[in-house]
Amino acid sequence: MMKPQFLIIGATVLLCGLAAAYDMVSGPQAVMVADEAVLSPVKGASDGAVVPDFAVTDLKGVSHHISDYRGRVVLLNFWATWCAPCLQEFPSMVSLVKAMEGRAVLLAVAMNEHESDVTQFLAKVGAANVPGVVVGLDAEGKISHGLFMTERFPETIIVAPDGTMARKVVGGIEWDAPDMLDYLKGLSKP
């Protein structure tokens, strides 16, 4: 007569066999791709915050409040003529503003002591009288440092038409590249 322990052994071996067989024939498990929660960066404290209002006087002596430009995308650019990457990217910002056809404004805050340095540069790159390009001086950094804590020039904050800060770009980039244009167009849609 068969001893009961053979039953135990038999049953477990059978179980093992079945499990192994299942393991061999089953298809791969399908995990859906990209778990946003795991790998996406956190939202920063200033993303989506309303940009603080300030006034800057342009080279003709006209005062501009950033709040005057609600309804348009504002490229709030902190720069200076002693900063090489700033000068390099400046023309591409101007051409971006032109390409946006009135839906974007470049508000360029220069941390320069001498107005002449700035006017000379603007004349050189043909940005002196472009509509939508506003350049003001902030020699003591009251706006650049004191309000926006920017020091790593150039730094540019993209302000959405509703006055919220959409993102910040640090360092010089090609502003008139198609993806940036698409991005700004997307932002300026009502």
Partner 1 sequence: MIQTIRNYGLILARPGPVFYILMWLMVLLVAGTVAQKYIGLYRAQDLFFSSYILWLGPVPLPGGIVTLGAFTVSLLAKMIFASPWTWRNAGSLVTHAGALLLLLGGLLTFVHAEEGNMVIYEGESADFYSSYHDRELVVEDQETGGKVASFAWKDLAPGAALPLPEVKGLRLQAVKFCRNCAFVPRTEKEDDPALAELRGRARNFDITPAPLEKEDESNRSAIQFRVSGADDKDEDGIHFSTDFIDVSPAITVGGKTYNIALRKVRTALPFSIKLVNFEKEVYPGTNTPKSYQSEVVLKEGKTEWHSLIRMNEPLRYRGYTFYQSSFIDSGENEATVLAVVKNAGRMFPYIASIVMCIGLLIHMAMYLPSLIRRMGGAAKVVVFAAMLGAMVSGGAGFARAADALDYAAFSRMPVLDQGRVKPLDTFARSYLETFNGRDSLQGMDAPAWLAEMMFNPGEGYNRPVFNIANPAVVDAMELERRPGHRYSYREVATSFAVHYKDWQDLLGAPESELTLAQRQLSELFDKIRLYADISRTLSLTFPDFTVPEGPLAKAFGVEPGTVMSYMQLRGYRDAIAVIVEPVFAKSEDETLELTPQEQAVIDFSLKFNQIGRDRMSKTLLLIPPQWHEKSGMADGKTANLWYSPWNITFFGQGSPESEQYLETWGKAVQAYRDKDAEGWATLTGEIDGMALKMAGDKVSPKMLDLEVYFNNWKPFEISLAFYLGAFLAVMASLLICPVWLRRVSFGLLLAGLAFHMAGIGVRMAIMERPPVSNLYESIVFVGFIVVLVGSFLEARLKNRMGLIIASSIGVLLHFLGIRFDADGDTMGMLVAVLNTNFWLATHVVTITTGYGICLVAGVIGHIYLVRRFFRPRDEEALRALYRNMQGVVYVALFFGALGTILGGIWADQSWGRFWGWDPKENGALLIVLWLVWLLHGKLSGKMGALGFSAGLACTNIIVAMAWFGVNLLSVGLHSYGFTQNAAATFIGFCGIELVVVLGLYAAIRVKEAGKGEALA
Size of the site for partner 1 (CB under 8 A): 59
Which of residues 69, 79, 121, 148 is near partner 1 by CB under 8 A? 148
Examine residue 3 and tell whether it contacts partner 1 (CB under 8 A).
yes
Output the 3-class SS for the chain. Answer: CCCHHHHHHHHHHHHHHHHHHHHHHCCCCCCCCCCHHHHCCCCCCCCCCECCCCEEEECCCCEEEHHHHCCCEEEEEEECCCCHHHHHHHHHHHHHHHHCCCCEEEEEEECCCCHHHHHHHHHHHCCCCCCCEEEEECCCCCCCCCCCCCCCCCEEEEECCCCEEEEEEECCCCCCCHHHHHHHHHHHCC
* Nearest Cα to Cα of residue 86 among 161, 177, 150: 150
Contact flags string 106-135 toward partner 1, x per CB under 8 A? -----x-x----------------------
Binding to partner 1 by CB under 8 A, coded x per residue (else -) over 8-47, reads xx--xx-xx--xx--xxxxxxxxxxxxx--xx-xxxxxxx
Selected binder of partner 1 within 49, 55, 84, 177 (CB under 8 A): 49
State which of residues 51, 104, 110, 135 lies at the interface with partner 1 (CB under 8 A): 51
Contact code string over 156-185 relative to partner 1, x by CB under 8 A? ---------x-xxxxx-x------------
- Does residue number 150 form part of the binding site for partner 1 (CB under 8 A)? yes
Q: Is the dihedral of CA 33, 35, 39, 44 positive or negative?
A: positive
Asked if 52 is part of the footprint of partner 1 (rule: CB under 8 A), the reply reads yes
Summarize as ranges the residues that interact with partner 1 (CB under 8 A). Answer: 3-5, 8-9, 12-13, 15-16, 19-20, 23-35, 38-39, 41-47, 49, 51-52, 111, 113, 139-142, 144-152, 155, 165, 167-171, 173
